Structure 1
Amino acid sequence: MSAPRTNWAGNITYGARRVHTPASVDELREVVAGSSRIRALGSRHSFSEVADTDGDLVSLAGLPHTVEVDDAAARVTVAAGMRYGDLCRPLHEQGWALHNLGSLPHISVAGAVATATHGSGDELGNLAAAVAALQLVTADGDLVTLRRGDDDFAGAVVGLGALGIVAGMTLDVVPAFDVRQEVYEGLSRETLEKRFDEIFATAYSVSVFTDWSAPTVRSWVKRRVSEPDGWAPDPTWMDARLADGPRHPVPGMPAVNCTAQLGVAGPWYDRLPHFRLDFTPSSGEELQSEYLVPRAVAADALRALGGVADRIAPVLQICEIRTVAADDLWLSPAYGQDVVGFHFTWVRDSAAVLPVLPLMERELAPFGARPHWGKLFTVDPERLPELFSRLTDFRRLRDRYDPQGTFGNAFVDRHVG
């Protein structure tokens, strides 16, 4: 089969010779064993070159969409190529939920985990934090299972596709729950800085959106339902007001493809993401970057970015600020510390956007900002071992699992070494 030409946004043209779509794990093992250079292709939503290759691509979308719940262990085993949106409904029907979800339910489980993609919530780890076990197809076609507690597990979960092709995962689950979502407008930037911790501790999941030009911001507040049926949202919060209708994160965009707001309760999988599975959130007319800083310096980082707001705003669609709890996964931006992510959705104009990234990275450098692996960044690879303290350990792990570089690519070679 011929390889797909571009990623979702169109800013990456894949160099792969062909793409394979195996229909079973056995076929996947054969494909991997027969290739000298191969990478997994997820939902193509990465904006960096993390999935590109000059060899073969393999899509896991053709593997059987298995959802096997172990009620006693509170875990679910799933095919790695499934999208979160396709996993969530059958999981919910069996009375279970994932602890967290990203903004988009359209992304694949394996791809999101491999890049430490995440949602938002003070007490919530990213999506990779839910992984209890993974099945990895190694370069010779062997199927290896790694479980939480194994020596290599914490290094392998956020693996950038560099250790092998993940065929399946076992995830921790929690009892299903409902969520109410409200949007507040007019929160001042001054209040955001002064009451940052209080704002993000307000609810189960909180996101703040800014265009870096207006003096006020919007906030998406997602609460687990525990109130009685007569509960109503507070019309004012901090110095903000409740939106009088549904909103899209990007001002001026129609909210039809967004999950229900206005305090209407609904299942976790239809409220924690900002966008609905049955709508494409946009046409791909965007680029994205994200930098994650320690929670303790969030307000300082916010002020530092404000110093270059005049360069950010002209090429920005929207910036989302969100929190993520610490984890122990080596290449996760939340490794060892609670973090705040500054996520930038840019206009799709690489020539205009790329010069802005080093300006922001310079401002955030004093705070040890870690880039998101699946987004655009220009951080010097020589600095990455300082930012990701287990990167050298990961190199040794990669060399042991893939000594011939079967799963390498230019991105991994450059940033892992």
Structure 2
Amino acid sequence: MISIIIPVIRPEKAARCIEAITNNACIPLDQIEILAERDTEGIGCPEMVKKLTDRAKYDNVMFLGDDTIPKYGFALIALEKMNEFPDGWGVVGLNTQDDRPGVGFNDHAHWMAHKKMLEYIPGGAFFPTDYRHCYGDDELKEIAIEIGRWTVAEDAKILHDHPVNGTSDYDEGYQKAYDDGAYAQDWKTYHLRKIDRRGFRIGIGTPLTGKTSDNRFQSSYRRAIYTFLKYDDIPPIKEYEPDVPIGEFARDIATNRNHLLTQALEDGMSHLVMTDTDQILPPDIFVKLIAHAARGKDVVIAPVHRRYDPFELILMRGEDPDRFIHVPDEECYSGKLIKVDNGGGGCFIVSMKAVLDILYPWFTLDDKTPLGGDMGEDVAFFWKLRQKGYQIWADTSIEIGHIAEVVINREFHEIWKRLSGKELKTI
């Protein structure tokens, strides 16, 4: 038995869909309930799906858009697939037409789901009402996969009279559903909900650029990973490398950083540690950074020395990037967790929720200071976070060597100051 729900904004298409249901279901019509209701108040698809699901009398709920034409046998095939699950419940994706090049078909735009799935969806709705239109189906599929309750009925075919297939005009309903602002908000909501659902999880990414990383980095990096894994009750971690060709440094450093963040978002990581590959890391670096994240810090920098004159730790303060002032050495080497406004991005941890608060591309070499000056992709990234109200922290107990012709550390910096007679202006 199936309750078929159809939120309606195009009555003439809805009538066509209902006719196709009665002709093509291939199960007795007294085992089908059709709930089709027009969205007269403009509340949107997710609210309508919840409203109709609440009214559905059967446990199996099938969602069809009013612009669909289900083909022969669709309901029978979907029921047979549902019955293959242990205890007969889960989510069955239907074969929805999608004529875009390389897609083939969409397996989750329309579906049949058992009401028991509602226990596993935060908020208890097949399409959570946090969404305006998009991404609710992606979340439903993901959750079903996570609990082992997802399958696809490829022979349950659904024609889709939709602009994506070139068979329908981009009418007012589609324009509202796929408005750039609505789509962007739904994309953000989808990732925020995934982060909340999956909990405290850490990605560790290396934005490889140029030549293969130094063996000294690889050795220190593996040692730091091993040190972290020895602790009890550690959060899940996953390592990332950018999915781009290695070798073109000038612009790829920003592209690579963005790819790392994108991968972490897709996996629902709550935080990402990013460390460059021209450094020597201390064994406890991941332990310290992840501990800060667990205590609620959104952005924590592990300070790194500049590898050219004046070789300072790259930590700055000030509201204007044209007038940043270096943090005093007595604070830089205090061994404490200190507040800063900006710094180098050689190694840091960031909350992915904070990343979602700034616009893509998160890293770019095209950002300028208010006076039109160039900014490194890391300085621009931290500045955007600071503008959104996020506090930037630096853990000065972490000592990283920046690999150059020599390893630049505190001792090198002190020698350079004595030899050059230069001191940095501080506040």
TM-score range, shorter chain: under 0.3
- Who wins on radius of gyration, i.e. which is larger? 2
Q: Which structure is higher in RCO with an 8 Å CA cutoff and minimum separation 6?
A: 1
Q: Whose helix fraction is larger, Structure 1's or Structure 2's?
A: 2
TM-score, normalised via structure 2 length: 0.23
* Greater strand proportion: 1
